[in-house]
Amino acid sequence: MNTFDNNIIAPLGVFWSLDPVSELEQRRAVMTSSPKVAVYSLSDLKNTTDDALPNYLTSLKVVQNHNHTDVRLLLGYLAVVVSGVTFYFDYTLGFDKTKYWTAWAVAAYFVLNGLFTWWIWRVEKGIVFQGSVKGQKLLLYSRTEKHIPIYHLTARYTSPSAPSLWQEVQLQAPFTRWFTADGFFVAKPFQQWLASEIPPIGQADPGNVVEEIGRGDGSARAMNVQPGRVEQVLDGLKDASGRMAGAQGARSRRKV
């Protein structure tokens, strides 16, 4: 469930605000702090969310481990070097003098690319973050399903008391939880979701833990709307908006 100050968020990710001034300020802040993405592009939504993960975690002093990325880059660079060296000697010495070496180079290139593909699909398997915080190791894997705008996140982590024992949490949430209707990324609900559901992140950022999402002290408030009560909630919002408009009009008349 999304949580914003003075806001109620409906089940389909529609933002309802009882304070039009604060809503306008929030939208301006979002538009100036994040790039706009195509809301119908699942890859854009996922990539933007994936990029926000390390930015948020490193801001919490979570030490990122780049071992997986380093191995992937090494395999890719080796393949490029092999192809470049092969082209250079073939261009300078001619094909007849280098054809045997070229055959070995082609074989090496295919082996390196095979290892590169295997590493991405079998070792990394969608990993978007690897790091540690306060003696706890943390691995995050993300994925999406075709044509379904839901973000799946798997978190594997250890505890300081049992560094060899891995625990796992599987999460999922619609992208509408942290993207506006016009495609702007909102960091706060995304950070609250992570901190409330993943213990190491919650311990590193207790201020973003929301009780209604997972654990927490209940400092942030959200309203759960049952499917059968949606119309009642909308009617209540309309009545509240009408009362606010009437009160503002009365204040304006008194000032005049």
In a domain? residue 59: yes
pLDDT tens, residue by residue, 99-124 = 888 889 889 999 988 888 887 777 77
Q: Report yes or no on 96 lying in a domain.
A: yes
81 belongs to a structural domain: yes
**Number of structural domains, the chain?**
1
Cβ partners under 8 Å of residue 115, min gap 6: 75
Answer whether residue 212 is part of any domain.
Answer: no
Please indicate, yes or no, if residue 22 is contained in any of the structural domains: no
- At 34 the pLDDT is 66
| 87/79 Cα distance (integer angstroms) | 12
Counts for the chain of helices (H) and strands (E), in that order? 7, 7
C-alpha triplet 234, 239, 241: angle, nearest 5°: 95
Domain range enclosing 193: 42-203
Identify the pLDDT of residue 251: 52
Taking the CA atoms of residue 213, residue 217, residue 220 and residue 222 in that order, the dihedral angle to the nearest 10 degrees is 40
90: in domain: yes
pLDDT of residue 16: 36
Which pLDDT belongs to residue 171? 94
Q: Is the full-model pTM beyond 0.95?
A: no
CB 193 within 8 A of CB 169: no
pLDDT tens over the chain, length 256 residues: 443 333 333 333 433 333 443 444 455 444 445 678 888 899 999 999 999 999 999 999 888 887 877 888 888 889 999 989 988 888 888 888 888 888 898 899 999 888 888 877 777 778 889 998 888 899 999 999 999 999 999 999 998 888 788 999 999 999 999 999 989 999 999 999 999 999 999 999 999 998 765 443 333 333 333 444 445 544 554 554 455 455 555 555 555 5
Q: Is 256 domain-assigned?
A: no
| Nearest alpha carbon to residue 169 among 124, 212, 132, 214 | 214
DSSP calls for 98-125:
HHHHHHHHHHHHHHHHHHHHHIIIIIIT
Beta bridge partners of 168: 156
Angle of CA points 8, 11, 15, to nearest 5°:
40
Q: Is the dihedral of CA 114, 120, 124, 130 positive or negative?
A: positive
Residue-by-residue DSSP string for 133-158: ETTEEEEEEEEEETTEEEEEEEEEEE
Question: Is 13 within the bounds of a domain?
Answer: no
